[in-house]
Amino acid sequence: MITRMIKFVTLGTFAVSLLGAPAFAAGGGGGGGGGGTDPYGSAYSTPSTAQPTYPRRSGTKAGQKTKKPNNQSSIGDPAFAAGYRAAYDTIYERNDYAAAIAQLKLLGHDDHPNVANLIGYSYRKLGDYEQSQVWYERALQADPNHVLTWQYYGLWQLERGNREQALYHLGRIASICGTDCEEYRSLAAALDKPTGTALVY
């Protein structure tokens, strides 16, 4: 039943987006997102950006499997990329979210969608859902098609009990990268779990 609901919402959201719906939701119900897959290899953005040069977490798959261009938000400056990689390792290798937030803010690019998204993720992991929302919204303001933020935000919505918003986010992901990308599959799998199930993302 949930799978049918997901398909219905995805189709409806896609149709609405074709008719000129707003670029992104305000994020109903109390706050911003947070999930937990690769912030490097799967975050699509607007077509004007270039391929990133930063590393990918092991065991993850690219979010785009078709011939569509990978319009991922890029980090071009080598010093910036190195600092971002270090913060990424602080998050995913050491699980030191407070230190990662400090590292990311020191980069001086808080409005870059990849940076804002990871700050939001880190706040979520620390249990600060209000700050997490601020940063997910900031990432989507910088890039309304940042698919990884839509995924993380959708997972956050589930944690907060906002299933309808999570379904909306799933539809946004489908409109950006389709239903075969990792971000869509991850959020859809989380939506298939019974309400109240602890999410590990």
pLDDT tens-digit readout, 88-123: 999 999 999 999 999 999 999 999 999 999 999 999
Bigger pLDDT: 151 vs 61: 151
Q: Which CATH class is domain 2-192?
A: mainly alpha
Angle, alpha carbons 119-69-7 (nearest 5°): 75
Domain boundaries, the chain: 2-192
As a whole number, mean pLDDT of residues 30-53 equals: 36
Residue 59 confidence (pLDDT): 40
**Burial tier of 16 (Cβ tally within 10 Å: 0-12, 13-18, 19+):** middle
**What's the pTM?**
0.65
